[in-house]
């Protein structure tokens, strides 16, 4: 039997659509290179990036000062967003949380906090987290992978799009899911765009905070890079025995080495350090812990942020009593520590780091638990930005 060439072509598999390049993964330099390769003037690269980062465009067709044929070609070659927003939660206090589904199905969270004129965002750096802090929902299942530069930037852009046209992002905290210093090159790449006033978001580095559990080698690397960001170290305990129980990675590191690295960072950057301390009932909220903290921090140019814990469904930790909080605060203040007790934000949504992702992965059982306990919030979205104007 002779094959019919027409029917053959009808039955053939359609050729797959060309894979588009995520434009957020590209630097201005590489976009300029693409422009010259396609006989477009170099200045078009800056125009496009300004549309994306400053004019909040998420479609090449909206870039009205570009030639029409160029917009079509861009849309054929590039994608702007590669993920989708799986869920948005709104808090009564103005906090909004996004659950983002990445192209490979991984899920991360990011948060917009409204506080007076501030529009702060809390951004994730990894899918999951390997640090294993016992009170944190993000680390319960370990780490899947690092986020790319584009995936970090995409969170910032998605949160920026929640603002009114006249509002601007003012602060960034790398304190969402993951340990930013375990993904340092991609984090620094994304933050370069965040602080770029010409084509990027134009956020002052003084208003950008990198939060870490304290990885001394990476802190030194950050200092070497002369990265002008605020450093916040999540301490959570004043001695190694307790800290290793709460932040297991501490076993390999030790508080002394973290403090030494923090001092070196301060020497190089001149920036006041911030330490974070989540206060957990009957674990790290004793007067003895407060006294040990005073010894650890009293000679440092540092701010201590204390955040009373809010329970996370499925975890056994509790908020300290008002009396314990009061005594803890008094000992620190009497010891001359520069301390702030931070307000939690997003108290009526699943705003604690990793909590929403975990909740959605375990539905329906966890939803029932969540409603019953009406619990929320923790360190990741507490008002943590510090040392900025």
Catalytic residue among 25, 28, 96, 109: 109
Examine residue 213 and tell whether it contacts ligand SF4 (CB under 6 A): yes
Query: Closest distance between ligand SF4 and the C-beta of residue 193, in Å?
Result: 23
For tokens 């479609």, what's the residue?
59
How many residues lie near ligand SF4 (CB under 6 A)?
12
353 is annotated as an active-site residue: yes
Looking at the Cβ atoms of 121 and 129, the one nearer to ligand SF4 is 129
From the list 130-138, 193-201, 202-210, 339-347, the region that binds ligand SF4 by CB under 6 A is 130-138
DSSP code for 62: G
Q: What secondary structure, in 3-state letters, does 248-282 show?
A: CCHHHHCHHHHHHHHHHHHHHHCCCEEEEEEECCC
From the list 102-110, 176-184, 238-246, 366-374, the region that binds ligand SF4 by CB under 6 A is 176-184
From the list 49-57, 129-137, 185-193, 339-347, the region that binds ligand SF4 by CB under 6 A is 129-137
109 is annotated as an active-site residue: yes
Interface residue with ligand SF4, options 35, 153, 172, 177 (CB under 6 A): 177
What are the strands of the beta sheet with 171-174, ordered from one edge? Answer: 84-90, 96-101, 107-115, 118-122, 171-174, 208-212, 230-234, 273-279, 302-308, 339-341
Show the site string, 3-22: x = touches ligand SF4 by CB under 6 A, - = not: --------------------
Examine residue 154 and tell whether it contacts ligand SF4 (CB under 6 A): no
Examine residue 127 and tell whether it contacts ligand SF4 (CB under 6 A): no
Would you call 323 exposed, middle or buried from its count of C-beta atoms within 10 A (0-12, 13-18, 19+)?
A: exposed
DSSP code for 382: S
Q: Where are the alpha helices (DSSP H) in 161-311?
A: 184-195, 216-224, 240-246, 250-253, 255-269, 287-297
For residues 256 and 216, the answer to whether their CB atoms sit within 8 Å is no
Please identify every residue annotated as catalytic.
Answer: 109, 353
Q: By CB under 6 A, name the binding residues for ligand SF4.
A: 129, 131-133, 136, 138-139, 177-179, 213, 353
């Amino acid at each position: 039997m002779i094959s019919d060439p027409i029917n053959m072509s009808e039955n053939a598999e359609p050729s797959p659509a060309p894979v588009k390049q995520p434009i957020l993964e590209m630097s201005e330099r590489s976009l300029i290179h693409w422009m010259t390769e396609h006989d477009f003037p170099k200045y078009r690269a800056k125009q496009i990036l300004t549309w994306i980062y400053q004019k909040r465009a998420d479609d090449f067709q909206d870039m009205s000062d570009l030639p029409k044929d160029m917009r079509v070609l861009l849309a054929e070659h590039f994608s702007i967003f590669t993920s989708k927003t799986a869920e948005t939660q709104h808090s009564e206090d103005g906090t909004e949380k996004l659950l983002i589904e990445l192209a490979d199905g991984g899920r991360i969270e990011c948060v917009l906090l409204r506080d007076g004129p501030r529009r702060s965002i809390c951004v994730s750096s990894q899918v999951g987290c390997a640090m294993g802090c016992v009170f944190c929902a993000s680390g319960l299942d370990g780490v899947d992978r690092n986020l790319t530069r584009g995936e970090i930037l995409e969170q910032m852009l998605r949160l920026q799009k929640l603002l009114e046209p006249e509002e601007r992002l003012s602060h960034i905290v790398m304190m969402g899911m993951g340990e930013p210093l375990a993904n340092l090159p991609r984090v620094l790449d994304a933050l370069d765009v965040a602080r770029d006033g010409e084509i990027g978001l134009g956020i002052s580095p003084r208003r950008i905070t990198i939060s870490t559990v304290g990885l001394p080698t990476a802190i030194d690397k950050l200092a070497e890079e002369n990265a002008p960001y605020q450093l916040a170290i999540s301490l959570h305990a004043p001695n190694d025995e307790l800290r290793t129980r709460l932040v297991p990675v501490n076993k390999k590191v030790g508080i002394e080495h973290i403090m030494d690295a923090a001092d070196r960072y301060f020497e190089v950057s001149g920036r006041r350090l911030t330490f974070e301390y989540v206060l957990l009932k009957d674990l790290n909220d004793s007067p003895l812990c407060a006294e040990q903290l005073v010894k650890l921090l009293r000679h440092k140019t540092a701010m201590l942020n204390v955040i009373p814990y809010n329970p996370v469904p499925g975890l056994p930790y509790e908020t300290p009593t008002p009396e314990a909080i009061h005594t803890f605060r008094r000992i620190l203040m009497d010891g001359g520590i520069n301390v702030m007790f931070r307000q939690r934000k997003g108290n009526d949504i699943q705003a604690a780091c990793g909590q929403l992702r975990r909740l959605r992965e375990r539905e329906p059982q966890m939803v029932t638990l969540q409603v019953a306990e009406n619990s929320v919030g923790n360190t990741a979205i507490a008002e943590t930005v510090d040392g900025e104007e």
